Amino acid sequence: MRRGQVRVRVLAWVGACAVAGLLAAPMGATPATLKRSVENLTQWPLDIAAAPVTSGVTIYRNMQNIGDSTAVRIAYPVPGYAWNLFVNMGAGVLRGVAGALELLPGIALAFTDAELTPIFDPAAKNTGLVNFENGIYDVNFGIDYTTPGY
């Protein structure tokens, strides 16, 4: 047997063992980390695109819910909107970075019962302007990153 044939057979054997190991993974495996990573990677641009609307809605809600003085109500909206806009856009970028960082661990943990704690909690805890959860691919973007999601 030639040396090249031996390598091919060894690689085929290793590949077959790897596939068998994946097929024999626990039945209770949860791909939650991979799911969260894919959602973050695909929805962070939508967070940035929706940031102007999200910031305006946040300012409006704050003006309605917080009992500030008239001077604050007059002076706050313009700088508050700018601050909210930049925070929401920056947090949208961080959501994309967190999705990228969770991708490889998510693939590795997809066949186990283990789950990685979210790297970027606000994307997982806060609800957005668009929020549709179906368990397979949850749509949640336009997130207000300036308000805590308890």
Please indicate, yes or no, if residue 115 is contained in any of the structural domains: yes
CA distance 113 to 121: 21
Counted domains in the chain = 1
Please indicate, yes or no, if residue 148 is contained in any of the structural domains: no
Q: Is residue 34 within 8 Å of 116, Cβ to Cβ?
A: no
Please indicate, yes or no, if residue 2 is contained in any of the structural domains: no
CB neighbours of residue 44 within 10 Å = 24
Please indicate, yes or no, if residue 118 is contained in any of the structural domains: yes
pLDDT tens by residue, the chain, 150 residues:
566 666 667 666 666 555 555 544 444 457 889 999 999 999 999 999 999 999 999 888 888 877 778 888 888 889 989 999 999 999 999 999 999 999 999 998 888 888 888 888 888 888 889 999 888 899 999 999 988 765
Tokens of 67: 């009992």
CA distance 82 to 79: 5
Please indicate, yes or no, if residue 17 is contained in any of the structural domains: no
Please indicate, yes or no, if residue 6 is contained in any of the structural domains: no
Range of the domain at 136: 29-143
Please indicate, yes or no, if residue 21 is contained in any of the structural domains: no
CA distance 134 to 45: 21
Tallying the residues shown for the chain, one arrives at 150
Please indicate, yes or no, if residue 69 is contained in any of the structural domains: yes
